[in-house]
A and B are shown apart, each in its own frame.
Chain A
Amino acid sequence: MKKNRMRTQLEKRMSAAAFAAGFAALMLTLAGCGGTDDAGGVSGASPAGSAAPSEATLNLYLNRSESVDAFKKLKEVYEAAYPNITLNIETSQGGEFNTNLKTKFAAGAGPDIFTNSGFTDLDTWVDKMEDLSGSEWESAVLDRSLDGITKDGKVYGYPLSMEGYGFMYNKDDFAKAGISEAPKTMTELKDAVAKLEAAGFKAFVPDYGNFYVPGVFETNNAVAKQSDPNQFLSDLKSGAKKITEDPLFSDMLDLVQLQTDHASKNPMSIDYTGMITDFAAGKGAITLGCSCSQPLLDQTQPSFEVGVFGTPLNDDADLNDRVFVQVSSYLAINKDSKVKEEAKRFIDWLYSSDAGREWYVKDFRYLPVLKGLETDAASLGSIGAGIKAYMDQGKYLAYEYPKYPEGLTTEWGNTLIKMVAGKLDKQQTLAELQAVWEKMSK
């Protein structure tokens, strides 16, 4: 019995050796194949690029999946203007976008044009991006809108979309509660909350189920209101300033607490979609809103009357009566793309042609980044129009969170959610925000 087993094992081992030899031969042939395959891949990647320059496909990968309908229209309009070009537009959102973009590049199939969020995101991707300095559109876009995409004096992207956020409120509820003017300070906000509740309305619909709203929007409120946000961030980094000693962060926590205490339901069970749909269904009168929320709002409740006001965290009326505005996506060109010239021509068309501008205003419906581009309230939507009104008066601050170290928004968001859940008191929250900063900024 035992002997028998030994023999079979020996046989197994011998055939394994023979197998390994045969396999090595197979590998060699395949390696040979692989070599030719690679060579073929390089020239074959864009057969249209070199052979017939008039015919080309532009691959676009964009992080604005809420605008997928607008991009369909864009494809139609552009292909009509340039029949020899095929636009291949793919979109995805948030974290998936970056993951997919990395895998696309790793697979050697990087898109010709892709979006970038600027600042820290620019640092990540700058190696793949074509230097676009000296393009005509540089002078046509709003001042400072290229800040996020400029590195060492070189411009790497075209500002595609601008968005803004602030509190949005249900105009109907405010009128019924007798609030004639949107709050400009914390005290006025508290008054408004009292009036709303007296009239039988719930005040806030805060999305604290996920890190995004607290980690991005709420913390930005405290950072952007510093007298010099860039200096503040570098002071935090050097240790010259601490969040635990910062009055604005402390005030910001009060605002988070106010929203928690007067929420329409447990704020930890509200996610982003729930926030917009609950708000549209009238379950609460105030919520943090981004101009990017307009499509979802329109789907839920068309022709819903929404107003916009700042996010007051203390009683400084001048500081608090402001919304936040930032270029949210830049278009960058893959520096290894075979169709760079076509890609540049596409961006030029987007900013200069009538058809491109019309698409921008009527279909894409983002706040305009181009100087003097006339938009109308109807196509901007009520949130966009509300934010534009603030912009026109110069009452806006920037998004500072794209300058945070990678991953900080998640961690800060989770810390704030712990406070909302009652796990941390205010002092502990400040301490944890500081501790998380120290961990992530290393």
Chain B
Amino acid sequence: MRKRLLEAIRQTVFMGPAVLVYLAVLLIPFLLGLYYSMTDWNGASASYSWVGFDNYRSALFDPDFIRSFWFTIRLTLAIALLMNVIGFGLAFLLTKKLRFRNLWRAVFFVPNVLGGLILGFLWNFIFTKCFEAIGEATNWHLFTIPWLGNENTAFWSLVIVSVWHGLGYVMIIYIAGLAGVPAEIREAAQIDGAAGWTLLIQVTFPLIMASITVCLFWTISSTLRIFDLNYSLTSGGPFGSTESVAMNIYYEAFRDNHFGLGSAKAVIFFAVVVVITAAQVLLTKRKEVEA
């Protein structure tokens, strides 16, 4: 009994603060958000009324919200795919015996240290001013198009900056994964006659599946919730075509003064993110093997 009590005290002392913080900054706001999502509060006035599920209904019938979902999903697919393919490629190269290997790793990792908001403003300048200057000097078509003024190129500019930004992180995880592949297994496979692609696909991939799970999870969940880069690079333009879900929610709640509707959208968004990421983790986890 005494032992139990001690254990309880120990747990409280060690875990208490963390749980408190979790409650204060996550759980309580989340529950409040649930509550507000069923009111018509505008975010400022003293009075508001209960509207039940009306906000959820109008959110689901809001074409802009649906469009922002579709945009975010396309963006996530493009970014997650490119980031993982290129990140793995780089990790694969940079685990080979290359000259200046550590320097290269650092070069690709550095963008990750910068914040998304700053990167957005930087690249905004690059796309609008530097590209224009290069375009004027060389007349290359690639640099003369208004990158942020056209819905397709604005989409790809988000992809380019995101991939460049997150690449290093994914690369590091893959490097760690590749370094953890036991040499004897690879040798055994080679003795059995596996080489090149076969070795990579049949032996290496299954063994680094844990890294793939982590990287996919990270890229998918962070891109689904993209906001800062989106905000500073395109601010949703041109004509709202690059408005991510997070941004749509922010605008609804704070700019258009529909805090209730914005909260309802946030709850829907939360559910969707949970479902997508959980499905992804379940799917890739199942493929993980141990050496």
Residue of A98, A266, A268 with most chain B CB atoms under a 10 A cut-off: A268
Query: B238–A209 contact, CB under 8 A?
Result: yes
Query: B150–A210 contact, CB under 8 A?
Result: no
Residues 376-415 of chain A: 1 if any B CB is under 8 Å from the residue's CB, otherwise 0? 0000000000000000000000000000001100100011
For B44, list chain A residues within 8 Å (CB): 101-102, 105, 124-125, 127-128
B contacts, CB < 8 Å to A: 4-5, 7-9, 11-12, 15-16, 19-20, 42-47, 128, 132, 146-150, 235, 237-240, 251, 254-259
Closest A residue to B154 using CB positions: A268
A101 to B9, CA, bound (A): 42
Would you give 5 A-B contacts (Cβ < 8 Å), ordered by A? A18-B4, A23-B12, A414-B240, A418-B239, A421-B238
Query: B257–A19 contact, CB under 8 A?
Result: no
Instruction: Tell me how far the C-beta of B141 lies from the nearest C-beta in chain A, rounded to whole angstroms.
Output: 14
Instruction: Tell me how far the C-beta of B129 lies from the nearest C-beta in chain A, rounded to whole angstroms.
Output: 9
For B9, list chain A residues within 8 Å (CB): 22
A108-153 contacts to B, CB under 8 A, are: 124-128
Instruction: Tell me how far the C-beta of A130 lies from the nearest C-beta in chain B, rounded to whole angstroms.
Output: 14
Instruction: Tell me how far the C-beta of A284 lies from the nearest C-beta in chain B, rounded to whole angstroms.
Output: 15
Given A102-B43, A102-B44, A268-B146, also A209-B15 (CB < 8 A): no
User: Chain A interface residue count: which class?
Assistant: 35 or more
For A372, list chain B residues within 8 Å (CB): none
For B47, list chain A residues within 8 Å (CB): 127
Query: A268–B12 contact, CB under 8 A?
Result: no
Closest A residue to B47 using CB positions: A127
A441 to B149, CA, bound (A): 29
For A288, list chain B residues within 8 Å (CB): none
A238-293 contacts to B, CB under 8 A, are: 265-266, 268-269, 271, 274
Query: B128–A266 contact, CB under 8 A?
Result: no
Query: B12–A25 contact, CB under 8 A?
Result: yes
A271 to B129, CA, bound (A): 12
Query: A268–B149 contact, CB under 8 A?
Result: yes
A124 to B259, CA, bound (A): 12
- A15 at interface by CB-CB < 8 Å: yes
| Extra contacts besides A19-B11, A268-B146 (20): CB < 8 Å | A18-B5, A19-B8, A23-B16, A26-B12, A26-B16, A26-B20, A99-B254, A105-B44, A126-B45, A127-B46, A127-B47, A128-B46, A211-B239, A271-B128, A406-B258, A407-B255, A407-B257, A414-B239, A417-B237, A421-B150
For B148, list chain A residues within 8 Å (CB): 209, 269
For A423, list chain B residues within 8 Å (CB): 239
Residues 64-90 of chain A: 1 if any B CB is under 8 Å from the residue's CB, otherwise 0? 000000000000000000000000000
Query: A18–B11 contact, CB under 8 A?
Result: yes
A271 to B234, CA, bound (A): 11
For A25, list chain B residues within 8 Å (CB): 12
For A127, list chain B residues within 8 Å (CB): 44-47
Residue of B7, B132, B146 with most chain A CB atoms under a 10 A cut-off: B146
For A124, list chain B residues within 8 Å (CB): 42-45, 257
A30 to B5, CA, bound (A): 20
- A40 at interface by CB-CB < 8 Å: no
A271 to B258, CA, bound (A): 27
For A18, list chain B residues within 8 Å (CB): 4-5, 7-8, 11
Residue of A26, A27, A269 with most chain B CB atoms under a 10 A cut-off: A269
For B43, list chain A residues within 8 Å (CB): 102, 124
Instruction: Tell me how far the C-beta of A119 lies from the nearest C-beta in chain B, rounded to whole angstroms.
Output: 13
Query: B235–A210 contact, CB under 8 A?
Result: yes
- A32 at interface by CB-CB < 8 Å: no
